[in-house]
Amino acid sequence: PMVVIAGICGISTGKLFLGGIIPGILCGLAQMIVSYFLAKKEGVPKEPGHFTIGPVLHGLWESWPALLMPIIIVGTITMGIVSPTEAGVIAVVYGLFAGGIIYRELKWEDIKFAFAETVRTSGRIFIVIGAAKLYTVMLTTAGFDKWVAKTMLGFSTNPTVIVTMFMESIATLTLFMPILYPIALGVGINPIVLSVLITVVIGIGLVTPPVGMCIYVACDLMDTTVGEVFPTLVPFIAATFVCIALMVAFPQLILLPTYLMA
């Protein structure tokens, strides 16, 4: 979503990635807290022994080649060395190298299986995207985008983000970002703040029916149903809304890394 937003609005992809650092950590901590209390409620047994720093350091040493991948992706984009698409290619090549040469765990059979699963899963996803795109074209043809802009400005000039669970994320960005972006600039909202907030909100949309692609893919891979999984997601979604509220109240959480690394 950040790459799409950057392309639509002409914003630096690197700055958007930087703006997402603290919100990402914040959301991760929120999910960990929810997981802790759910584990206690469900009586999940603790691992034996006590926490020591030794296994952590050992794990970091063993996993440093894998941990290097996000640094390569974000670092090269932020420094302007490559485009996001080129960074994706580099990540794939590096992943093949790390899995096959460094860890020696990635076999040719695994690569063939990964390609086959990617085609099968992507096919389902593109059906959803295609239907959502058709829905977006219908709304645009009907003048829905102009009505939304007029309505938002008619109510207030305060920052407002409209979120729908009935549109695919890319389709939502394609329809709403050209509307929200000039409105945000007009009322003095920082475009980085707006973009990061929308990215987090879209993350919620990706796990909520009826067009939550991530929940459909996960349920397909785990051979379960959306009806069984979705109720368990509610506490995690609520925790994410708390994080969004903090980001709205304190936009410095988003902007601080962009200032420090400018």
Q: Taken in order 164, 165, 167, 173, is the CA torsion positive or negative?
A: positive
pLDDT of residue 129: 65
Q: pLDDT per residue over 16-67, tens digit each?
A: 988 999 999 999 999 999 999 999 998 888 888 777 888 888 888 888 888 8
Q: pLDDT per residue over 201-238, tens digit each?
A: 888 888 887 777 788 888 888 888 888 888 889 999 99
Q: For residues 129 and 188, which has the higher predicted lDDT (pLDDT)?
A: 188
- Please, what's the b/e burial string for 41-72 (b: 16 or more CB within 10 A of its CB; e: otherwise)? eeeeeeeeeeeeeeeeeeeeeeeeeeeeeeee
Contact between residue 211 and residue 17 where contact means Cβ atoms under 8 Å apart: no
Token pair, residue 191, equals 């475009």
For the segment 147-163, the average pLDDT, to the nearest whole number, is 52
Q: pLDDT per residue over 134-144, tens digit each?
A: 776 777 787 76
Neighbours of 73 (CB within 10 A): 18
